[in-house]
C-alpha cells in the first residue's frame, strides 16, 4: 500500500510527522486587525463631536397637555415651550431617570414572570421502514409521541414570589414618580433661569 522508507518507518507516518508542524500553524480564525481610532487633532474637535453625538442620541421630549397649558398661561406667544423641550431632551439627569424607570420596569416583569410556570410542548414522529416488501408489511412501525411539560415552577406557599413581585412593582412606581419629579424640577429650573 505505502512504500517503506529506510528502516521500518512507513511513508504515511513520515509524511504525517513532516506535515504536523505545517498543519499546527493553520487556523480558521480570521486575522485580527485593530480598528482605526478616531482621534481628533484638537480638543475642540473632540468636544464638538461629543456634542453632535449627544444631540443625535437625545430624543425630542414631548410636553404633556398640562405642561402646554401651564406654559401657555405664562407666555401666550409660546416662546417657552421650545426651550423646555430642548432642556428635557438634553438633560443628562432626566435621561438617567428615564433609564432607571425602564430598568425598574424590566425587573418588575422578571419578578412577575417568576410567579408563572414555564410550559413546554414536544412532539415527535418516527417511522421504521424496510426495503423488503415482506418485512415492511410485517414490521413497519409508525411511532408518534407528544408531551407537555411544566418546568421551572415554584409553589409560592409562603408568599415569597408575590412579595418580590410586589416590591419590584413598588420600585417601578417609585422610579416613575422620581422621573416625574425630575421633569417638574427641570421645567421649574428652566422657567426660573429664563
Determine if the pTM surpasses 0.85. no
What pLDDT sits at residue 177?
Answer: 95
The rounded distance, in Å, linking the Cα atoms of 98 and 72 is 25
What pLDDT sits at residue 167?
Answer: 93
Is residue 5 over pLDDT 60?
A: no
- What average pLDDT does this structure show over 5-27? 72
Is residue 96 over pLDDT 60?
A: yes
Over the stretch 155-173, which tens digit does the pLDDT of each residue have?
Answer: 888 888 899 999 999 999 9
Top-confidence residue, 68 or 56: 68
Listed in sequence order, the residues at least 6 apart from 27 whose beta carbon sits closer than 8 Å to its beta carbon are none
What pLDDT sits at residue 24?
Answer: 65
Top-confidence residue, 78 or 86: 86
- What average pLDDT does this structure show over 88-111? 92
Over the stretch 101-131, which tens digit does the pLDDT of each residue have?
Answer: 999 999 999 999 888 888 888 888 888 777 8
Top-confidence residue, 28 or 147: 147
Report the chain's mean pLDDT, rounded to a whole number. Answer: 81
**DSSP per position, the chain:** -PPB-STT-BHHHHHHHHHHHHHHT---SPPP-PPPP---SSHHHHHHHHHHHHHHHPPPPPPPHHHHHHHHHH-TT--HHHHHHHHHHH-HHHHHHHHHHHHHHHHHHHHHHTTSPEEEEEEEEEEE--SSHHHHHHH-EEEEEEEEEEES----SSSHHHHHHHHHHHHHHHHHHHHHHHHHHHHHHHHHH-
Q: How far is CA 148 from the centre of its chain?
A: 29
What pLDDT sits at residue 54?
Answer: 57
The rounded distance, in Å, linking the Cα atoms of 56 and 53 is 5
**Where exactly are the structural domains of the chain?**
61-116+170-194
Amino acid at each position: 500500500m505505502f512504500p517503506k522508507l529506510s528502516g521500518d518507518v512507513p511513508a504515511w507516518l513520515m509524511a504525517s510527522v513532516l506535515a504536523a508542524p505545517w498543519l499546527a500553524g493553520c487556523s480558521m480564525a480570521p486575522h485580527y486587525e485593530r480598528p482605526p481610532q478616531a482621534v481628533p487633532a484638537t480638543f475642540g474637535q473632540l468636544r464638538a463631536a461629543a456634542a453632535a453625538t449627544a444631540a443625535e442620541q437625545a430624543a425630542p421630549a414631548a410636553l404633556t397637555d398640562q405642561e402646554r397649558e401651564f406654559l401657555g398661561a405664562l407666555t401666550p406667544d409660546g416662546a417657552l415651550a421650545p426651550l423646555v423641550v430642548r432642556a428635557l431632551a438634553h438633560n443628562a439627569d432626566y435621561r438617567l431617570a428615564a433609564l432607571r424607570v425602564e430598568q425598574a420596569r424590566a425587573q418588575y416583569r422578571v419578578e412577575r414572570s417568576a410567579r408563572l410556570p414555564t410550559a413546554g410542548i414536544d412532539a415527535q414522529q418516527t417511522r421504521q421502514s424496510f426495503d423488503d416488501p415482506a418485512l415492511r408489511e410485517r414490521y413497519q412501525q409508525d411511532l408518534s409521541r407528544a408531551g407537555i411539560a411544566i418546568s421551572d415552577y415554584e409553589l409560592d406557599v409562603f408568599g415569597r414570589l408575590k412579595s418580590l413581585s410586589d416590591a419590584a412593582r413598588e420600585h417601578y412606581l417609585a422610579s416613575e414618580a422620581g422621573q416625574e419629579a425630575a421633569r417638574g424640577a427641570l421645567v421649574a429650573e428652566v422657567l426660573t433661569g429664563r
